[in-house]
């Protein structure tokens, strides 16, 4: 195991050490965002699944805490603590709370030996640090191997807890209600619909505002990895009436949450002040080994909806919890305005202030028809000018396509996903980009969150150049702002 610290993100969540997968039990409590995660406490690969734990006040600096819910070994049997959620039971509906409210975790107990997955609950009277398993678990059991990932929140209109959970191989989500988190009643089922090319996992249901209106709609997110789409997460938009979810779109309509090859198992935070809707996804590691950690989370993202001619569509932007303190987090800032590019490639950071591939780049471009323009990042050329590493993020205003090309990005990447293209809504030469590069983690947000593409790159140690370019014609870069987050304001 060779340390690969040059690829370790600085402003994204990674485990202290070892393997992580899904975010679990996202809960805001007393000024802190709790993030539990699928964690192998011992090794740098999937196994011994337990709930790791970290807290943050700003969604950038994470404090790692001891394992919150460990794998349970009894005699020769083991129970793994699979994905799930956590709620703040402020009115002690569960009867578990000692001093006012308590944290209740609802998770899937996975028993490899008994070939069973069922839903368990556990409670915490120390603010979510340690949990006691309910003695009458399971609380929902279908006597199946595949049945998992309960996502629970308080459904105020019906005054009950609402659980969304999946039967993965049947491509079905189920909705249950409960007055006390212990006794659950099946309300309805949804699916198969949308993408069914792989097992359904990690559902979430959330009510979101439609920007600029008083309308609210429901969104059901579902992850599914391993089919022809590779790593994939989709969403359905529609209505939930306290019993059933009704899809606005035709049953075969597939809406991607993200256009990259790694975004997965995303779920929202419960209990955020002002009913703010923030979610975070797991970034499934590539075949590139990293050590001493493996896997990470995306940047936390604010969710809303936008009305389009085709219907309501999801908007996701890096959370305003982060963007409001972005200036404090950045040491060096490079700002350039009104740059005309004509078949050329230039370095917008003339003084060479931004080093080391941990930055946040915002830009507005106007790309003339037939031209392709954008950025080449994490770039290194040899003395002869030949590219050693680069990742090309470009917009073609004739086809209205945004492309992220990782052909020369570096590292072992998913071969089928080296080049990904997003069709951009509307009819404009203008495009807005937000590019978050954090060592090996790359997220591209287009037009204020209309589309997101999440992926990995593994550039060589000296591949940290940033250039702006226009090819096949001209482009105006109205502005670029690059904030160096290498020190996260420390």
Longest dimension (CA), the chain: 71
Choosing from 202, 354, 457, 475, the residue that interacts with ligand FRU (CB under 6 A) is: 202
Choosing from 4, 18, 21, 454, the residue that interacts with ligand FRU (CB under 6 A) is: 21
14 binds ligand FRU (CB under 6 A): no
Choosing from 71, 89, 149, 484, the residue that interacts with ligand FRU (CB under 6 A) is: 149
Q: Among residues 22, 146, 464, 484, which one is catalytic? A: 22
Give dist(CA 13, CA 299) in Å, integer.
Answer: 8
213-245 residues labelled b (16+ CB within 10 A) or e (exposed): eeeebbbbbbbbbeeebbbbbbbbbbebeeeeb
Rank residues 163 and 475 by Cβ distance to ligand FRU and give the closer one: 163
**DSSP secondary structure, 302-351, as one string:** EEEEEEETTEEEEEEEE-HHHHTTHHHH-S-EEEEEEEEEEEEEE-S-TT
217 binds ligand FRU (CB under 6 A): no
85 binds ligand FRU (CB under 6 A): no
**Shortest gap between Cβ of 424 and ligand FRU (angstroms)?**
30
**Shortest gap between Cβ of 81 and ligand FRU (angstroms)?**
9
Nearest C-alpha neighbor of 287 from the set 415, 145, 447, 177: 415
Nearest C-alpha neighbor of 477 from the set 377, 324, 362: 362
Rank residues 83 and 316 by Cβ distance to ligand FRU and give the closer one: 83
Beta strands 201-209 and 160-167 are unpaired
Cα distances (Å, whole numbers) of residue 204 to 92, 237, 247? 24, 12, 14
Site residues for ligand FRU, 295-324, by CB under 6 A, read none
**Shortest gap between Cβ of 35 and ligand FRU (angstroms)?**
15
Dihedral sign for Cα atoms in the order 232, 361, 285, 113: negative
40 binds ligand FRU (CB under 6 A): no
Rank residues 105 and 265 by Cβ distance to ligand FRU and give the closer one: 265
363 binds ligand FRU (CB under 6 A): no
265 binds ligand FRU (CB under 6 A): yes
Rank residues 102 and 121 by Cβ distance to ligand FRU and give the closer one: 121
Eight-state DSSP code of residue 269: P
Is 141 catalytic? The answer is no
Give dist(CA 472, CA 447) in Å, integer.
Answer: 23
Choosing from 39, 44, 83, 93, the residue that interacts with ligand FRU (CB under 6 A) is: 83
Site residues for ligand FRU, 107-136, by CB under 6 A, read 108
Residues at the site binding ligand FRU, with contacts judged by CB under 6 A: 21-22, 38, 49, 82-83, 108, 148-149, 201-202, 265
- Which residues are catalytically annotated? 22
């Amino acid at each position: 195991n060779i340390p690969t610290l040059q690829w370790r993100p600085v402003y994204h969540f990674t485990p202290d050490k070892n393997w992580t997968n899904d975010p679990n039990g996202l809960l805001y409590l007393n000024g802190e965002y709790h993030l539990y995660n699928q964690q192998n406490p011992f090794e740098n690969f999937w196994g011994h699944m337990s709930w790791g734990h970290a807290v943050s006040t700003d969604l950038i600096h994470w404090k790692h805490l001891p394992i919150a819910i460990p794998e349970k070994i009894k005699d020769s049997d083991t129970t793994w603590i699979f994905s799930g959620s956590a709620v703040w039971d402020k009115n002690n509906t569960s009867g578990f709370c000692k001093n006012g409210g308590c944290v209740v975790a609802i998770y899937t107990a996975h028993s490899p030996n008994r070939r069973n997955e069922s839903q368990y609950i556990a409670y915490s009277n120390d603010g979510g640090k340690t949990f006691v398993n309910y003695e009458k678990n399971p609380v929902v059991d279908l006597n199946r191997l595949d049945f998992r990932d309960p996502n629970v929140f308080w459904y105020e209109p019906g005054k009950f807890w609402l659980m969304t959970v999946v039967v993965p191989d049947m491509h079905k989500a189920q909705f249950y209600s409960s007055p006390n988190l212990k006794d659950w009643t099946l309300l309805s089922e949804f699916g198969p619909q949308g993408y069914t090319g792989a097992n359904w996992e990690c559902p979430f249901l959330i009510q979101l505002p439609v920007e600029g209106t008083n309308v609210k709609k429901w969104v059901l997110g579902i992850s599914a990895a391993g089919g022809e789409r590779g790593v994939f997460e989709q969403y359905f938009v529609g209505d939930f009436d306290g019993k059933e979810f009704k899809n606005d779109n035709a049953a075969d309509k597939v809406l991607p949450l993200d256009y990259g090859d790694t975004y997965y198992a995303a779920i929202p935070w419960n209990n955020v002040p002002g009913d703010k809707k923030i979610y975070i996804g797991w970034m499934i590691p590539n075949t590139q080994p990293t050590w001493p950690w493996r896997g990470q989370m995306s940047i936390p993202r604010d969710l809303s909806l936008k009305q389009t001619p085709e219907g309501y569509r999801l908007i996701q932007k890096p959370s305003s919890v982060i963007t409001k303190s972005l200036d404090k987090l950045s040491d060096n800032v490079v700002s350039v305005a009104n740059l005309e590019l004509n078949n050329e490639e230039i370095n917008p950071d003339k003084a060479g202030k931004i080093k080391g591939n941990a930055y946040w780049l915002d830009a507005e471009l106007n790309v003339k028809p037939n031209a392709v323009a954008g950025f080449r990042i994490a770039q290194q050329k040899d003395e002869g000018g030949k590219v050693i590493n680069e990742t090309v993020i470009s917009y073609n205003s004739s086809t209205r396509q945004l492309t992220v090309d990782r052909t020369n990005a570096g590292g072992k990447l998913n071969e089928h996903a080296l080049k990904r293209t997003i069709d951009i809504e509307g009819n404009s030469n203008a495009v807005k980009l937000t590019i978050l590069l954090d060592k090996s983690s790359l997220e591209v947000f287009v037009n204020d969150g209309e589309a997101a593409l999440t992926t990995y790159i593994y550039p060589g140690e000296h591949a940290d150049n940033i250039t702006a370019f226009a090819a096949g014609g001209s482009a105006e870069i109205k502005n670029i702002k690059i904030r160096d987050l290498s020190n996260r304001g420390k």
